[in-house]
Amino acid sequence: MHVPTEYDSDNDGINNKVMQARALCKQQEEKCAARTRQLDRKAEDIAAAQQNIHKNRLKNKAYFDKNRYERVDKIGVGDMVLLYNSSLDKQWSQKLKNRWLGPY
pLDDT digits (tens, 9 = 90+) for 11-26: 666 778 888 888 888 8
Q: Please tell me whether residue 1 adopts helix, strand or coil conformation.
A: coil
Distance CA 4, CA 18 (A): 19
Amino acid at 21: A
Within the chain, where are the H helices?
A: 9-67
Predicted structure pTM score: 0.46
AA letter at 46: I
When mean pLDDT is compared over 50-54, 72-76, 99-103, the highest value belongs to 50-54
Half-sphere exposure of 8 (CA within 13 A, CB side): 8
